[in-house]
């Protein structure tokens, strides 16, 4: 087996292990109170953490584009228009700030 295939299989197994482990982690656990509040906050907190370095530490164009995208999102625009606003504004802002 080549090292490339070995690497892909290793990555696939490691990734599947992280995805499957949650099934067993919560078995029989009753979630209420503070633990429930914490778990309910996980989806937005994780999504935010994934993109935070891009939108906060890349440059002023990306930060302003993120603010404009968030404005579009909170105006309840359909997701596809929100993405168009983000992509178009980052292209324009990079021209302005480069």
Partner 1 sequence: MSSTLRDFRQGVFDVLPVLVAATPIGLLWGTLAAGKGLVPFEAWLMSATVFAGAAQFVAIEVWRDPVPWVLLTVTALIVNIRHVLMSASLSRHMGSIDHRFHPLMMFLMADENWAFSERRALTTPLSLGYYFGLALPMWFTWTTSSIIGAIVGRSFGDPAAFGFDFAFSAMFIGILAGFWKVPRTGAVLGASAIAAALAKLYVPGAWYIVIGGIVGMVVAALLHRQGETS
Site for partner 1 in 68-97 (CB under 8 A): 69-70, 72-74, 76, 78-80, 82-83, 85-88, 90-91, 94
* 60 is a site residue for partner 1 (CB under 8 A): no
Size of the site for partner 1 (CB under 8 A): 71
In the three-class reduction of DSSP (H, G, I as helix; E, B as strand; rest coil), residue 58 is classed as: coil
Q: How far is the CB of 11 from partner 1 (least distance, A)?
A: 4
Distance CA 11, CA 19 (A): 12
Residue 26 has what DSSP assignment? T
Of 15-44, which residues contact partner 1 (CB under 8 A)?
15-23, 25-27, 31, 33-35, 37-44
Among 5, 28, 96, 98, binds partner 1 (CB under 8 A): 5
Distance CA 78, CA 62 (A): 21
| Helices (H), ranges, 1-98 | 3-25, 33-57, 60-74, 79-97
């Amino acid at each position: 087996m080549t090292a490339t295939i070995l690497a892909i299989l290793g990555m696939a197994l490691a990734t599947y292990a992280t995805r499957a482990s949650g099934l067993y982690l919560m078995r029989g656990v009753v979630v209420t109170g503070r633990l429930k509040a914490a778990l309910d906050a996980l989806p937005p907190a994780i999504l935010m953490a994934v993109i935070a370095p891009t939108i906060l530490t890349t440059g002023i164009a990306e930060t302003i584009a993120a603010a404009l995208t968030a404005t579009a999102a909170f105006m309840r625009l359909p997701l596809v228009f929100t993405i168009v606003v983000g992509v178009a504004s980052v292209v324009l802002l990079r021209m302005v700030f480069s």
